[in-house]
Amino acid sequence: MEAPVTADQARSNIARSSRTLAVVDWSVDPATVAETLRAHTEREPAAFALLVPSRLPGLDWIGDPKASCPCAERQLSEVGALMRRRGLEIEQGRVTEPERVAAIRDATRAWTPDRIVLFDRPRLFSAHPFSVARRVERATGHAVERFEVAPANGPVRGLVHRAPRCATA
């Protein structure tokens, strides 16, 4: 039988683990995000920082710039709780400004990651030279791994893509 891990040993293990910055769209399924990050730790132990940009979809940016903050805060809480239930170490988490590239660049200056993962809704043109992942790579110097995750309310159906709406209820 193995001896229990002391607090000092746990801190030492975290210090040797990789650091992953997870950037999560507020509209995607939080369980899929948490499970994907848990699967990553099977290959390599990791400590995480979570960012949830309070993005405004479509033309909503014309209206109230803080309209999606409640949904971003709810997503941060849900993903964090699901990660903790899976035994994942979260060093920090926060809701950020809507502009993802600037928010990620600022976060990497305060908390240096070994890896950046972006959890986003499926998009028609996600691999073009001006995609968020490519812009983040240029702005931070870190490679970005992008995961397409279905919206929390189910997959998009039909030919017309509708941007998610933040319901504060």
User: Could you report the per-residue pLDDT of 1-43, keeping only the tens digit for each?
Assistant: 444 545 444 444 444 579 999 999 999 999 999 999 999 888 8
CA atoms of 111 and 20, how far apart (whole Å): 10
Distance CA 21, CA 86 (A): 17
Element housing 89 (H / E): strand 89-96
Domains located in the chain, CATH noted:
16-148 (3.40.50.620)
52 pLDDT band, cuts 50/70/90, is very high
DSSP 52-77: EE----GGGGGS-TTTTHHHHHHHHH
Spatial distance between the Cα atoms of 152 and 63, rounded to a whole number of angstroms: 23
pLDDT at 162: 52
Q: Which residues contact 132 (CB under 8 A, 6 or more apart)?
A: 100, 101, 118, 120, 146
For residue 12, give both structure tokens.
């030492």
Record the pTM.
0.79
